[in-house]
């Protein structure tokens, strides 16, 4: 065995590593330009406000950034949160910490709050963003998967868990709007979680990086901090919200976000980050501060996503009963019966369908099984694929047309097989 931490072996292969293996050796049709809809990387241009500010601040690359972030960045983050979620205010010095995107912060927070005596459980929605699971395992905790199914509007029933599980819980991961289902937690749901966290003494970690992608300008998603403030908890006790420019402002390469909420948790968390966290470069922080203060590009981006969903659902709505998510950038697409194709042995329906879409339509999507785990005979993601609306509206519509064509070809194959005309 190589001389490495044996806990590394507990981390499952990442979904895109599994996808590469699934599609290895397949040659898509040469007359079709590939359309990549697996990775949630926004295809919209970076906003001018960020690029212009970054160009003015290049001298800052000559200085070390502080771990919590400089004052103007944290002030801009607090100002945006207060304005966007109608909060009574936040203390930028104590209640906001900069992070290099939400990925590394969501991972490291588990190390900061897991490990108290008897507190070994980490509640994870199923399906989920894989960082939650990896964070729990690396922190020495045990992921406890809570199903997010169509019959419960893809909102896990945490309150329905046994008391002995909740009493051993260190933290609960919430994603709203959810990756991959697009479900949005409303005020009542969030308030119930806060009550649950109080009763059983655990921390709520709310991943809200998709909160600015929503269909109705008059109904923006709620934040966990907003629900806490509505209950009169202006100290945001037990509540942490994670935000990023990656999806809101189409800046995944900037690696810039923040954590906000309970100062009683953020103080020790900052100590951990001083050792293991990635500091955000000063020019990026300063450009980000200007970007948090600008909403024009965000409104335009939302409109573009609305157009993309509308184009895709014109095709896939009547065909598959597909519906737009409550919010977010993903279509959680159920795989219809019989769509797996002839080479589906040993694969989930989503894996088999993803292979077919790539092999026959040059469209790449992510099998839902790579974002979920089978528990008690239920595998919430097995019958789905995740389609990321990251190309232009025209390209997304083209991908939908190819999905329709692959399904039509599959029906033709099935009918020929039933009539005795299949491949023996």
User: In the structure, what pLDDT confidence band is assigned to residue 363 with cuts at 50, 70 and 90?
Assistant: very high
First to last CA, the chain: 46
What pLDDT digit, counting tens, does each position of 83-125 carry?
999 999 999 999 999 999 999 999 999 999 998 888 999 999 9
Per CATH, the number for 48-293 is 3.40.640.10
The pair of structure tokens assigned to 406 is: 């692959």
| pLDDT on residue 342 | 62
Helix or strand holding residue 145 (H, E): strand 142-147
> Could you confirm whether domain 6-44+297-416 is CATH 3.40.190.10?
no
Pick 278 or 201 by higher pLDDT.
201
Task: Give me the chain's average pLDDT, please.
Answer: 94
pLDDT for 127 beyond 50? yes
Q: Which of the 8 DSSP states describes residue 375?
A: B
Write out pLDDT tens, residues 380-424: 999 999 999 999 999 999 999 999 999 998 754 444 333 333 332
Please state, for a pLDDT cut of 90, what percent of the chain lies above it. 90
> What pLDDT is stored for residue 415 in this prediction?
40
pLDDT of residue 27 exceeding 50, the answer is yes
Cβ–Cβ under 8 Å, residues 73 and 285: yes
- pLDDT of amino acid 112: 95
Torsion of CA 265, 269, 271, 274, to 10 degrees: -150
**DSSP strand pairing (384-388 vs 366-367):** antiparallel
- 3-class state of residue 38 by DSSP: coil
User: What is the per-residue pLDDT for 411?
Assistant: 59
Coil, helix or strand at residue 132: helix
State yes or no: pLDDT of 43 exceeds 50: yes
Unique residue bearing structure tokens 């019958």: 383
Report whether pLDDT(74) > 50: yes
Domain assignments of the chain as residue spans, ordered by start: 6-44+297-416, 48-293
Global confidence as pTM? 0.94
Distance (Å, rounded) from C-alpha 289 to C-alpha 80? 9
Q: Please tell me the predicted confidence (pLDDT) of residue 52.
A: 98
Distances (CA, A) of 285 to 23, 44, 61, 68, 398: 38, 21, 11, 11, 38
Average pLDDT over residues 321-345: 87
Q: What is the pLDDT of residue 343?
A: 64
In 295-412, DSSP assigns E strands to 330-334, 363-364, 366-367, 384-388
Looking at residue 419, its pLDDT comes to 33
- The reported pLDDT for the residue numbered 235 is 97
Q: What is the pLDDT of residue 341?
A: 66
């Amino acid at each position: 065995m190589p001389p490495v931490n044996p806990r590394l072996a507990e981390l499952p292969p990442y979904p895109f590593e599994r996808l590469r293996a699934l599609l290895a050796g397949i040659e898509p049709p040469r007359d079709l330009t590939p359309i990549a809809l697996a990775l949630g990387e926004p295809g919209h241009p970076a906003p001018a406000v960020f690029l212009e500010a970054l160009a003015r601040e290049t001298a800052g690359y000559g200085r070390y950034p502080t771990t919590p972030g400089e004052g103007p960045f944290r002030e801009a983050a607090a100002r945006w949160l207060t304005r966007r979620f109608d909060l009574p205010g936040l203390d930028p010095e104590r209640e906001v910490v900069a992070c290099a995107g939400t990925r590394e912060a969501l991972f490291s927070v588990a190390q900061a709050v897991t490990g108290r005596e008897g507190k070994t459980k980490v509640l994870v929605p199923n399906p989920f963003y894989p960082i939650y699971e990896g964070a729990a395992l690396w922190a020495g905790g045990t992921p406890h998967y809570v199903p997010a199914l169509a019959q419960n509007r893809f909102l896990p029933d945490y309150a329905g868990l046994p008391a002995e599980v909740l009493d051993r819980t260190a933290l609960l991961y919430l994603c709203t709007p959810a990756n991959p289902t697009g479900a949005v937690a409303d005020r009542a749901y969030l308030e119930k979680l806060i009550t649950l966290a109080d009763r059983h003494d655990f921390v709520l970690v709310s991943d809200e990086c998709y909160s600015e992608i929503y269909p109705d300008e008059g109904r923006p998603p709620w934040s966990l901090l907003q629900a806490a403030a509505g209950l009169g908890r202006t100290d945001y006790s037990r509540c942490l919200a994670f935000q990023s420019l990656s999806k809101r402002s189409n800046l995944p390469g900037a690696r810039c976000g923040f954590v906000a909420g309970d100062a009683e948790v953020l103080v020790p968390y900052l100590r951990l980050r001083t050792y293991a966290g990635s500091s955000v470069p000063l020019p990026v922080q300063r450009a980000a501060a200007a970007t948090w203060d600008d909403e024009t590009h965000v409104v335009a981006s939302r409109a573009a996503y609305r157009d993309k969903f509308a184009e895709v659902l014109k095709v896939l709505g009547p065909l598959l009963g597909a519906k737009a998510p409550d919010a977010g950038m993903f279509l959680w697409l159920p795989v219809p019966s019989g769509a797996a194709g002839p080479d589906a042995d040993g694969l989930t329906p989503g894996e088999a369908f993803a292979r077919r879409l790539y092999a026959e339509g040059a469209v790449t999507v992510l099998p839902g099984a790579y974002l979920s785990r089978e528990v008690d005979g239920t595998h919430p993601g097995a019958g789905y694929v995740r389609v990321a609306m990251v190309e232009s509206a025209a390209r997304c519509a083209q991908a939908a047309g190819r999905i329709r064509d692959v399904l039509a070809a599959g029906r033709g194959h099935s009918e020929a097989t039933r009539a005795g005309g299949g491949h023996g």
